[in-house]
Structure 1
C-alpha cells in the first residue's frame, strides 16, 4: 500500500526529473492542490513536508462523503435539499449547497433527464434475438434489405405546444393564440430507404 510519505517522495522524484505539476497531476497519484503545495514547499525550503492548508476545516469526513454518494446513486432524482435531510438523519448536518459541492467533487452533475423509448421485457428480448440472428451479416446482405416507416402529418395547426411572449391581458390577443379545429385533417406518409438510396413516398390515407 502506498503511504502519504511514499506519494510525496514520488512527486518530488518526478519533479526533479523535469515533470511539471500539471504532468504529475495527470497521473492522479494525488489531488492537484497537494501536488502543487509539495512542489512549492520544495522550491522554498527544500523540504517535502506538506504544510497544513489554511481556511475553514472540511465539514464532512471521507466516510460521510461516500455515504452521501451512495444515497444519491440509490435514487438519481433526489434533490440536494432532500439529500441534506437524509444526510442529517445519518448524523451529518450540512446545507444543500454543501451537498452539491460534495457531489460535484465526485463528478455527479445535475442535468435534465434524457428521453428514451420505454422498452418492455419482450422488446428487449426481441432486439437481442434480432442482433444474434444477423450479427454476421455482410454489407452485401444488408444491401438487399429495404427499411420502411410511416408518419402522420397534421395539415392544420401544430401538434406540439408552442411558447409565446405576451404582456398581461394579452392571453387571447390574435398574435398570442394558436387556432385549432376539433378534427384536424391528417395524412399518413409512407417512405423507405435502402443501401441504394431513398425510395418514393406515398400518401396512405387522410383523416377525417
Structure 2
C-alpha cells in the first residue's frame, strides 16, 4: 500500500511535535488540520515511531516496596485485638494547581524536561472519622507540620 504522507508532511509532523507543549497524536493532528493538512492520528503515530519516538510517561516508582508490605502486615496482625472504638482515623490529600506530567512523544533513550513552576499553588484537604461518625472537612494551604496539625486542625476538627 502506498504511503499516505510525503516527506514534507512527515517533516510537518515532527515540526508540530516540537512546537507542542504536551504533544499527543491527537494534538498534532489538530495542529496539522489548522494548516490544512489532513493526516489521521494513527498515521501520525506511525510516522513518529518511524522517526524513533515513543509515547511514554515519566519515570515512576511503586509507593510500597516488598519490605513496606511485610511491615504493614506485621503491624496489622499485631493490632487485631486493639479496641478500635477509641481510634480516630484521619487522612489528608494535596491537590496541586499546577501542571501534571503526562505521557508524551519522546526520542528513545532521551527524557524530556518538564518545565514546572518551582512552588505551584496547592490546596490541602483533611478529614477524619471514628465509630461515632465523620469529622469536619478542613481545607488549608500551608504545609502540614506537626505544630499546624495540633494547633489548627485537631483543635478545630476534634472539638466534639
Q: TM-score range by the shorter chain?
A: 0.3 to 0.5
Whose radius of gyration is greater, 1 or 2?
1
Instruction: From the two aligned structures, give the one with the greater strand fraction.
Output: 2
TM-score of the aligned structures, taking structure 1 as reference length: 0.31
TM-score of the aligned structures, taking structure 2 as reference length: 0.38
Q: Which structure is richer in relative contact order (CA contacts within 8 A, separation 6 or more)?
A: 2
